[in-house]
């Protein structure tokens, strides 16, 4: 079987590539990635040595390029990880998110319709549901929870999800959607919370925490996410959406303090800064459906996952040092340099 994995040079996509090569060695993996700021060929260095893996640099919103790839490669399954995915960047430049996340999805599905496909899988996010109140820990996002996006990023992902289901109903395209909670683990781009805190702490730099730091996220170790997607594309029901969550809810400030303890660094490095615009308060996934239908549950506790993640960043300094020494340095200054430091 041949899988076309878009966004495979990014964080979750690359982890999925390695999971598939390891667990389905007879399958072929065709990775398509535009190699924007978060795409990194160093991430795929190990995969490039595998004869079952092939990489093509292309933009999923480029209709001509996608048509040529599908015509030549005839993939059986498409897993679409390709996306602009950082909320802060979507607030600064929303139009880029609309092109990749909505138009790119449209182009991919049109190619699937034209050339035929066993399954098109859309990797989405729990952020399409909006947020939950901090004082209602009994509430969780279910697949039936109405979409209520809060940011340009989540609005673009929600739009893509609606388009996917429209193609299922209108064209009978065999689709599935997964909506995951916050991922963490190896190859995570440094702008995201956990790697940002690890890298800053290692340099004894201040750790910028938005607002009061009490925003709650459900943390999912990336390999657990990969096992869930693998189950969905092979055994999930067509036309269904599956929530993927880690049962690991933590406030952002608690996550930061956990990272500092793991690194033996003082909490005095924490610096509360002006909050993000429209910052959602709490995300929490109910994964009952995927457990009941496919037998999936996360196997990595947050404590275990953080230890693995910190160890990975300590062992792979060259990977992230190349990133933070380049264009990301100016982005970091833009995002955090002018934010007001709040009183403790």
DSSP 128-174: GG----TT-TT--B-TTSPP---SHHHHHHHHHHHHHHHHHHHH---
Candidates 126, 131, 280, 286; catalytic one: 126
- At 146, list the tokens: 């109405």
How far, CA to CA in Å, does 52 sit from each of 43, 46, 174, 308, 319? 17, 12, 25, 27, 24
Q: Which of 188, 182, 262, 251 is nearest to 219 (CA)?
A: 182
Active site residue 126: yes
37 in active site: no
299 three-state secondary structure: coil
Q: 122 forms bridges with which residues in the sheet? A: 80, 177
The DSSP symbol for 295 reads -
Catalytic annotation present for 127:
yes
Active-site residue, selected from the candidate residues 33, 59, 127, 191:
127
Yes or no: say if 83 and 138 are a contact pair by the CB < 8 Å rule: no
Longest CA–CA separation in the chain, Å = 59
What backbone phi and psi angles, to 5 degrees, belong to 12?
Answer: -70, -40
Q: Residue 216 is encoded by which pair of tokens?
A: 């709650």
Contacts of 301 (CB under 8 A, 6+ apart): 248
Q: List the 240-244 sheet strands across, edge first.
A: 53-57, 28-33, 2-6, 77-80, 119-125, 175-180, 240-244
Cα–Cα distance for residue pair 83/285, rounded to 1 Å? 21
**CA separation for the pair 168, 238 (Å, rounded):** 8
Which residue numbers are catalytic? 126-127, 153
């Amino acid at each position: 079987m041949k899988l076309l994995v878009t966004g495979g040079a990014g964080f979750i996509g690359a982890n999925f590539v390695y999971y598939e090569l390891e667990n389905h060695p007879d399958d072929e993996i065709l990775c398509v990635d535009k190699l924007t700021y978060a795409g990194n060929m160093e991430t795929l260095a190990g995969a490039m040595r595998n004869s079952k893996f092939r990489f093509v640099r292309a933009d999923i919103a480029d209709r001509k390029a996608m048509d040529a790839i599908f015509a030549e490669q005839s993939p059986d399954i498409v897993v679409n990880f390709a996306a602009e995915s950082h909320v802060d960047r979507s607030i600064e430049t929303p139009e880029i998110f609309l092109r990749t996340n909505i138009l790119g999805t449209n182009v991919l599905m049109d190619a699937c319709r034209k050339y035929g496909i066993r399954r098109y899988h859309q990797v989405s996010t729990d952020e399409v549901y909006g947020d939950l109140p901090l004082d209602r820990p009994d509430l969780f996002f279910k697949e039936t929870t109405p979409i209520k996006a809060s940011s340009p990023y989540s609005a673009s992902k929600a739009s893509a999800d609606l388009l996917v289901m429209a193609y299922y109903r209108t064209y009978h395209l065999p689709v599935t959607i997964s909506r995951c909670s916050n991922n963490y683990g190896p190859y995570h781009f440094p702008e995201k919370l956990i790697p940002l805190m690890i890298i800053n702490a290692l340099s004894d730099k201040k750790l910028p925490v938005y607002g009061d730091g009490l925003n709650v996220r459900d943390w999912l170790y990336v390999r657990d996410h990969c096992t869930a997607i693998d189950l969905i594309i092979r055994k999930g029901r067509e036309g269904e959406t599956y929530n993927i969550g880690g049962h690991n809810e933590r406030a952002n400030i608690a996550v930061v303090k956990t990272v500092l303890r793991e690194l033996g660094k003082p909490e005095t490095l924490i610096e509360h800064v002006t909050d993000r615009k429209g910052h959602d308060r709490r995300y929490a996934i109910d994964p009952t459906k995927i457990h009941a239908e496919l037998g999936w549950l996360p196997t990595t506790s947050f404590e275990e996952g953080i230890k693995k993640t910190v160890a990975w960043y300590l062992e792979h300094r060259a990977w992230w040092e190349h990133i933070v020494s380049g264009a990301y340095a100016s982005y970091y200054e833009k995002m955090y340099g002018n934010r007001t430091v709040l009183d403790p």
